[in-house]
Amino acid sequence: MAENRSAQAYGVMHTASQNGSGGAYRYLANMYEQGRGVEGSPFMARHMNWMGSQYHDPESMYQAAKDFYARGHRKDGDHLATKAKDCGHPGAIILLMERSILEGRDADARMFLEMGIDAGIPAAKFALAEQYDKGGLGLPKDYQRAFYWYTESAKHGEARAMAAIAYYFFRGQHGVQDEFAAAHWYHQAAKASHVESMTAYGWMLMNGKGAQANPDEAFGYLKRASKMGDKQADVFLAQLVKAKH
């Protein structure tokens, strides 16, 4: 039944795409990416994203820009990322900022970062916190300001910011060491599917850090992190199994 619906959706979207619908091309790209209703094909997904970008679909422009960057075509990536940004795509602002940082164009990076902050994008707030944490882009290393912006980002669901807050509390990075707060924030980040936080929270539950020791719950988080490829989780799982025996 689901396959029939996927086939029907493909037919409808294919017709729409032939009539010049950028959103339909993006929908088809998503089907090829996931192998949903069609045979999965990275090439076809890239092609459909590119076609969607030609019909001014912001998400298609953004995805095509990422594809071009990944394949080393900076000019094409810049062109489509800029078009997506001009269409209001928040991810494109972050993408352009990250590329600017990667290429050492600090002035451009600061411009895009400010643009993202003004737009209230959680990932931009996280990026600003990271710069204060490291002292990058000409900003001073300032853990208090970093913590503030991590918190602002975490308020809007940015899991990486939640993990950073947890680390700050665990290490006392901003002058306040609190294992209970660290456990809370690692738990929040783990629930948001942040892999390293699953491992960190599992370790805290293993050792009764910031929470009552709970080997069974620790095992669950560590097992999930292990399945998602975190090697440190494998180490802790082995220790947990050994301790049980």
For the chain, give the percent of residues with pLDDT over 70. Answer: 91
Measured CA to CA, the distance from residue 36 to residue 3 in angstroms comes to 8
Which amino acid is residue 82, in one-letter code?
A: T
Tell me: pLDDT of 7 over 70: no
Q: How confident is the model at residue 6 (pLDDT cuts 50, 70, 90)?
A: low
CB neighbours of 95 closer than 8 A, spacing ≥ 6? 62, 65, 66, 69, 81
> CA Rg, the chain, in Å?
22
Count of Cβ atoms closer than 10 Å to residue 35 Cβ:
12
pLDDT digits over 64-108, tens only? Answer: 999 999 999 999 999 999 999 999 999 999 999 999 999 999 999
Query: In the chain, where are the structural domains located?
Result: 1-88, 96-144, 157-245
Q: How confident is the model at residue 18 (pLDDT cuts 50, 70, 90)?
A: low
pLDDT digits over 124-138, tens only? Answer: 999 999 999 999 999
Place of tokens 């400010």: 114
Q: Which CATH number describes the domain made up of 157-245?
A: 1.25.40.10
Q: Is 6 exposed, middle or buried (0-12, 13-18, 19+ CB in 10 A)?
A: middle
Q: Is 119 exposed, middle or buried (0-12, 13-18, 19+ CB in 10 A)?
A: exposed
